[in-house]
Amino acid sequence: NAGVMQNPRHLVRRRGQEARLRCSPMKGHSHVYWYRQLPEEGLKFMVYLQKENIIDESGMPKERFSAEFPKEGPSILRIQQVVRGDSAAYFCASSPKIASLYNEQFFGPGTRLTVL
């Protein structure tokens, strides 16, 4: 059973370009979470999605950032018109289909975004 997969692992963009980060949850998982981590800092929650639904996007900037988790395919975190401050590691986590208080979140290896 493959773990959470994220690609690309490293992404370099110039200011003003778009960044697309992909996350494939573990098999059987239908809850996906995106986090941002700046160097030497903790995890910052961005958005929580279920299939075709955004459940909580309170941690995601209102502008330039969007996320989706379609019925088929991976979850996508999209950052438009990137700026240097977007440089960070972006982690995706997934948890099982049945909502439970004790759901473990399984993390992917992260995508390290560098904006030049």
Given CA atoms 32, 38, 40, 42 in this order, what sign does their dihedral have?
Answer: negative
Tell how strand 111-115 and strand 10-13 pair up: parallel
CB of 85 to another protein, least distance (A): 19
CB of 44 to another protein, least distance (A): 8
Binding mask 1-40 for another protein (x = CB under 8 A): ---x-----------------------------------x
Whole-number Å distance between alpha carbons of 2 and 23: 13
Residues 68-107 that bind another protein (CB under 8 A): 91, 93, 99-105, 107
By CB under 8 A, residue 60 contacts another protein: no
Nearer to another protein, 40 or 72 (CB): 40
CB of 101 to another protein, least distance (A): 5
Q: Judge whether 34 and 20 are in contact, CB under 8 Å.
A: no
Name residue, tokens 């639904």.
Answer: 53
By CB under 8 A, residue 55 contacts another protein: yes
Q: Judge whether 113 and 38 are in contact, CB under 8 Å.
A: no
User: Tokens in use for 44?
Assistant: 């910052």
By CB under 8 A, residue 45 contacts another protein: yes
